[in-house]
Structures are given as structure tokens and as C-alpha cells.
Amino acid sequence: MSSKQKPWLMAGLFSLVCVGCAQQPSPVTPAPEQITEVSELSEPEQPSYSAQQWLQQAAASQGSEQHNLLLQAAKAALAESNPRLARAIAKELAEQQDPWLDARLPAIELQALVQQAHYPAALQKVERQQAAQLAPEARLSYSLAAAQLYQQLQQPARAAYWWLQWDQQANLQQPEADYWDQLWQQLIQLDSQQLEQLRHNAGARTLAWVQLSQQVRQSIGQPEALQQALTRWQQQQPHMPALSELPEAIQALTALTPYQPERVAVLLPSQGQLRPHAQAIQNGILAAARYHPDTELFFIDSQQENSSLQQELKALNIDFVIGPLQRPQVDRVRQADDWPWPTLFLNHSSQQTDPSREQFFFSLSLEDEASQLAELFQQRDYRRPVVIHAQHGGSERLAQHFSRQWQAYGHPAPELYSFAGRDELEPMIATLLELDASRQRVRQISQLIPGEVESEPHSRRDIDAVYLIADPTQTRLLKPFLDVSVSSTAPSLPVYASSRSHSIQADRTDHRDLAGLTFTEMPWMLTAQQHQALRTDFDQLFPDQDESLQRLFAMGYDALQLIGLLKQQQHLPALRHPGLTGELSLNSQRQIRRQLDWARYSQRALQRLQAP
């Protein structure tokens, strides 16, 4: 840094300090005494001065001493939640092309980007930066920032990886802040395959964390067996902290016992418009009851006052409640302060979850499918998906949910296109693929060049995929429009849909127009092999039943099966139950989350997929 540049630089940095001070005022303290230059090898702990104080020292220094002081100023700015100043200092220092600085600045830059919630830029930095090139002390803060980045973006597999990198380097025996709690919260969200992948090139501490997580999964719900497993783990991992120092959530599992109700009440409407829906759910519960011979079921009309319901439940000595189904009734039950029964509601609630009560929520929410598709697009590294949806309340809600989930991964909002009727499909797709602009260019060229000019319009090529939210009839109109509108010279455009687009009845007709369409669907509607016998019995008992009622049958079946797993799933979100409605887990709001199956139409048949 030249002497001509230094005054201007320091003035600019001091102005940024003032901006930070205006945002977060702090008491003025005397300037520190002159600080001795820090050796590149020793890296001693620095005094805890403010960013302004470090800058004052840097203003009176030169060369490598000034570089070090500015680096300390950037770290202090981060501690003061002034990422703008930290980035400004890092930007100036990066111009020095000093290897010592180059090994430390990426950690400063990443931390500042995460504080500013500049997630796309932060992701690019993590993807391009090799952590091994960083100085050891910078690696620690870099790993912490990367872990917090992916945690904010709801990517637990990557967040867990970086938390483990941080833990391996920190090598602590006592907890620091709540970092181990955050690490554990990411680990318990990983499935078995994701957990196993963390073993690749892992250090001893990472392997110990993975082993701990696996042993918890094997013994959860068996208090004595889990306590023995934890004790054995501690003996095998003497380099790890004592169990008493690890997150309390781990110790709490040793006291966890599953729900084992002997008398279950099912609250469903016995009359009115929803009676067929209630009957379908009841049939599903009864079908699952064969696997619970020690459980006695009581079906009670939910369309009565809370006081009457509670009297009846107490008289029957009920252990657990399933239902009600209608959301107003769910909210009414939840408002009752004297509702002592653990309950699996068959709908979501409009109220905030009360963590002190044993209440869980199960519904066939299409939002689960939108979240699943956003996760798939993230895994496939799509950058610019487009959403097409019908102008219908449910479809619009689903499109908005997908958009929020996609942005939560750090991406810009996807393009949304809607249609109200068949006559709007062709112009909408022409606008989406920018065919009109291409035709206009062809016309302009034709006017300039004599002779015949290629007239086929070229569709845009920056779209990764299309998410189609429509009913089966609309889907059968839309998919061919998309196929023929993409120019022959462009790559094929993958099209995805939700279960709204699928119909067993419609599949009995010709579906060649749907070839290539990939969609999510519950296993029950795809006749999964493991449920074939149950499906055969169902079709014999309820031939040609409405498909919406078939889905509710599957929901009732899963509701009874879930009871014995709810407590375990509450502490271990990665624990999934292979149900008729999907792979079922429990989120932090105690809502059942469904991971559906994948299927794709080919020219001749519908194919189930392990992964699209």
C-alpha cells in the first residue's frame, strides 16, 4: 500500500466506522498503546479492541504491521456486526497480493457476506475457495461461517459437514456458545446415506459424532439400551468430551419412552358434507388396526362442544386422540387449556404451536410436494426454474410456497406464469419461451435479406426446468404445448408436476402426450410393491372409489401407525416411517412432513423412480 493511497484509504475506512457506530453506538474508549507486529508463526491472541481503535493503530503504521492491524480491524468489525466495514477492509487488503493475507481474508469475506445475508455470493465463495489453502486460525472461522450459511439455507447435510470441520479444528472439551447444539440439530436431520457420507476422509472427532448419531438412531425409544450405547460410545471415544458436556438433547433421549396407548379415540364428523371423507379415514384406521391388536378404538362425533367431548373421553379412559379433521375444530380443541390427551390432529392449525403440549399435526399438504421439488432442483443444481400454475387458490398457494422455498436456498425468485383457461395457454407459453421476440427478429431479418429465411422461432435456453401446477386435464393440455414450443435446436426442457396432475382414472386412457413428465405422488396411488396385498383388498372392498377418498384412506391408515413413533421423531427428524402417504417425518413445529415417491410418464407406461 503506497503512502499516497494510505490517507485516502484510512479516511474511507473511518467513515465506514462512523456508519457502523451510528447503527450500533458504543462507548468511546482511549486509543490502545502501540501494538507490536505479530509473527506469522506464533499468531498470539490479540487484545479485544474496537474496529475504530485498530484502525487508529493502522493509520500510524506501515507495511506488514499495518496489514495485520487492518486484519484485526476487520475481525473487530465483524464482532461489532459491521460487515460493511469488514468487507471494505478486506477488499483493500486483497489488492496487496500478499500470501499471508490471502490465507486469511477469505474467512473475513465469507463471515461478512453471511452477516449481510448475501447468500448467493457467499455460496459462490464456499464453492470456489479451498479451505486447505487458508491459515489454520482462518480455517476455524471460515468453517463456522460456512456452517451457519448452510444452516440458514436449510441444507442440513452441508451444514453438518462444515460444523464437523469446525469441531475437528476447534478440538474442544468444553462447550462453546451453543455450537454443539447446532451441530447436533443438523446431524439429526440427515438420513442414513447422508450420515454415512460424512465418514469420507473424516477425522477422529467427525467419525465419533457420526457413530454417536448412528447409535442413537438404533436405540431411540429403548431407554436402557440407549444408555448402554452412550456409555459404550464414551468408553470407545476417550478423545471426545464427556457425555455430560454434550447437548442436553442427547441425554434427554435416555428418558424417552414411546406412546403405547391402549385406548385411542378418533374424532371425526358423523354427519354433513364431510361424512364421506370421515368414513374413508375411519376405514384406513380400521385397516391399520390389525397391526395393533392391543389397542382399542373409539370413534366419536367431533361435531360437539369441547366440554361434551372431554366428558366422553374421560369416561372412556382414553390414552391418545386422533383428530379432529376440520381446521376450526382443531383450533377449538387447541384453545382448551384443560386438554390433557396427547393428540394427532388430522389437519394443520392456524395457531402457533405450543411446545409445552403433546400435540402433533398430520395433513395431506401439497406444500410438502413443493418443498420436495425445490430440494430436488437444488440438488440438481438448477438455477432458473419456471413455475406455471392455474389461477386457482390452491395452485397459487403452492406456487408461492415453492417460490419461498427456492429463495430460502439463496436463489432469486423464480418466474411465475399463470393461466385461467385453455385459450390462454398458447400465448402464455409463447411469452414464457420468448417466442414472440424470436419471431419479430425473424421478420426483421427477412426484410433485410432477400430470399428465404429460416422461419422457425428459437425458444430461450436459460430455463433449467418447469414446475407445472395444474389438474390432470390442464396438464394434458399444457405438456404438449410446451413440447412443441421448444425449438428443435434447443435442449429438451424437463417438466415436473405435483400429485395434482396425476389421476389413476385418467391413466387408463392414452397418455403419450405426457411422456417425460415427472411428478410426486404418494406410494398408495402408485401401488407400491410393499402395499400390493393391501391395495388388492382395498380395490375389492371399494371398487371405483373416488381418488380423493382413496388418499384419505391412506391418511387414516398412516395416522394409527404413526402413534408409536411420534416421540422418537420429535427428537430425531431423520427418523422416517414408510407410510402409504409417503416417507413420514416430524419437523420442529410437530407437523408430519411427507416425502413422496417419484414417477415419470414414458411413451407406453408410468414408471416409478428411485430418484428422478
Q: Where are the domains of the chain?
A: 175-257, 263-361, 367-521
CB atoms within 10 A of CB 252: 10
Half-sphere exposure (CA, 13 Å, Cβ side) for 26?
Answer: 19
Strand arrangement of the beta sheet that strand 386-390 belongs to: 415-419, 386-390, 466-469, 495-497, 518-521, 597-601, 606-609
> Hey, what's the cell of 414?
423464480
| CA quadruple 463, 118, 94, 128: dihedral sign | negative
Q: What is the DSSP string of 241-289?
A: PPGGGS-HHHHHGGG------SEEEEEE--SSTTHHHHHHHHHHHHHHG
The predicted structure's pLDDT at residue 488: 56
Residue 562 and residue 292 in contact, taking contact as beta carbons nearer than 8 Å: no
The predicted structure's pLDDT at residue 469: 93
What angle separates helix 105-115 from helix 63-79, to the nearest 10 degrees? Answer: 20
Residue 125 and residue 90 in contact, taking contact as beta carbons nearer than 8 Å: no
CATH code of 263-361, in short, is 3.40.50.2300
The predicted structure's pLDDT at residue 353: 74
Q: How far is residue 129's CA from residue 123's CA, in Å, rounded to a whole number? A: 10
Give the three-class secondary structure for 316.
coil
> Hey, what's the cell of 431?
411469452
| CA quadruple 394, 396, 399, 404: dihedral sign | negative
Q: How far is residue 500's CA from residue 471's CA, in Å, rounded to a whole number? A: 5
Entry field: residues in the chain: 612
Q: How far is residue 68's CA from residue 73's CA, in Å, rounded to a whole number? A: 9
**Average pLDDT across the chain, whole number:** 85
The predicted structure's pLDDT at residue 602: 84
Q: Which residues of 535-568 are buried (b: 16+ CB within 10 A; e: fewer)?
A: beebeeeeeebebebbbbbbbbbbbbbbbbbbbb
**pLDDT by residue (tens digit) across 369-426?**
999 999 999 989 999 999 999 888 789 999 999 999 999 888 999 999 988 877 878 8
- Taking 50 as the pLDDT cut, the residues of the chain under it are 1-5, 7-8, 18-43, 437-439, 441-448, 453
Over its C-alpha atoms, the chain yields an Rg (Å, rounded) of 30
Residue 204: phi and psi, rounded to 5, are -65, -40
Residue type, 103: A
Q: Do domains 263-361 and 367-521 have the same CATH topology?
A: yes
> What are the respective helix, strand and coil percentages of the chain, to the nearest 5?
55, 10, 35
What are the helix (H) ranges across 417-499? 425-432, 435-448, 472-485
Give the three-class secondary structure for 300.
strand
Q: How far is residue 533's CA from residue 555's CA, in Å, rounded to a whole number? A: 17
Q: How far is residue 76's CA from residue 73's CA, in Å, rounded to a whole number? A: 5
DSSP state of 416: E
The predicted structure's pLDDT at residue 557: 98
CATH of 367-521, one of 3.40.50.2300, 2.60.120.10, 3.40.50.140, 3.40.50.970: 3.40.50.2300
The predicted structure's pLDDT at residue 450: 54
Nearest to 586 by CA among 563, 560, 612: 563
pTM as predicted: 0.80
Q: How far is residue 187's CA from residue 234's CA, in Å, rounded to a whole number? A: 18
Residue 345: phi and psi, rounded to 5, are -70, 145
